[in-house]
Amino acid sequence: MATAMMTRLLCALLLPGMVVTSGLAIAGGRRDAASSPEAAFRELVSYDRPNGERELFGSWRSPTMARLVSADLSRTWTRAGSTQGNFFDGSVLSGRQSVSGASRFDAVRTIRNDGRRSVVETLVTVHIDGRSEQQRQRFTFVFEDDRWKLDEIDYAVGTKPSRSLHAHLLAWMNAFMMDHLRSRAPAKNGVGDDVQVIADRAVDRAKAVYGEWDMNGLHAEVQRCGKAAQATRARAEISSCLGFTWAALRIDTLGSSAFGMPMQLKARDLIEPLENAYMHLGGRYQDAYDLSQTVTRQAIR
């Protein structure tokens, strides 16, 4: 009887500790899994197969891209893709042209990890026109949405200048836009209005709102306009709101410079959702760029 009572007492004392310890072990295991980017790297390079890269790096941020690629890299990629040019002629994961088969990723190791950014280094064997070549690459990941996502690829570790995915995309966009500015015809939006007409309306509207309600009213109208335009999912409404937002930002910039006050509007937070929605509905990056430049020139008159 005494033995049975002692057993029950020991169970009562030990069981909560066992449960807590078990919970900590599970949580610790989850943290350990989350702290290593190598699982994300393995999943990423599994798309190095026929049509795999097309699924991962599409013209719009697909669920696969959203799961494996950072918001910043996705944004740069989709903007370059919206130019409708041959902006990346080769394998994205190896950075090489004329690749004739799947690459091999060996000697994988994490060389840097602070919990927010990490770098995985690997020795890549690439098959090009019947021969094999090796190169050391580094994949940078950022921790977003409770998982590691690709943010950068350095294709030529130890060489000068180094070649990176972001640098390639930005160089393409800059070159494309220079060519576009030299040879452009009047850009059209989805309903036939040219960029100058949209810009004129946007600047007139922004100046009117600012004149009646000052900067606070302009800020509120920008917020309302952005929500309403994205809710309609109509490219004409989004391009109109995009022009109005650029005009409001220009007025904010001029006012802050004149009066020594900090700007109230944050360009990135306001512009990027509208540009993403515009391109998702078939708009071109160069048209959005033209609109921003035209509005900026118009707003200072």
The more confidently predicted of residues 145 and 232 is 145
Check whether 1 has a pLDDT greater than 60: no
What is the third-level CATH fold of 38-170?
Answer: Nuclear Transport Factor 2; Chain: A, (3.10.450)
The more confidently predicted of residues 101 and 125 is 125
What span, in angstroms and rounded, lies between the C-alpha atoms of 149 and 74?
Answer: 10
pLDDT value of position 193: 54
Residue 57 contacts residue 77 (beta carbons within 8 Å):
yes
The more confidently predicted of residues 32 and 234 is 234
Q: pLDDT (tens digit, 9 = 90+) per residue, 238-297?
A: 888 888 888 888 888 887 766 666 777 777 778 878 887 887 777 777 788 788 888 877
Check whether 34 has a pLDDT greater than 60: no
What span, in angstroms and rounded, lies between the C-alpha atoms of 300 and 207?
Answer: 11
Q: pLDDT (tens digit, 9 = 90+) per residue, 202-220?
A: 888 888 888 888 888 888 9
Across the chain, mean pLDDT equals 77
Q: pLDDT (tens digit, 9 = 90+) per residue, 152-193?
A: 999 988 776 668 888 888 776 766 666 655 555 544 444 345
- Residue 124 CB partners (closer than 8 Å, separation 6+): 94, 103, 104, 105, 106, 134, 135, 136, 137
- Residue 67 CB partners (closer than 8 Å, separation 6+): 147, 149
Give the pLDDT mean for 138-156: 94
For residue 155, give the amino acid letter: Y
Residue 112, H or E segment: strand 104-113
Where does CATH 3.10.450.100 sit in the chain? 38-170
* Residue 161 preceded by cis peptide, ω within 30: yes
What span, in angstroms and rounded, lies between the C-alpha atoms of 213 and 248?
Answer: 13
pLDDT value of position 28: 41
Give the pLDDT mean for 56-78: 87
Q: pLDDT (tens digit, 9 = 90+) per residue, 256-273?
A: 766 666 777 777 778 878
- Of 113, 122, 109, nearest to 31 (Cα)? 113
Confidence of residue 14 (pLDDT cuts 50, 70, 90): very low
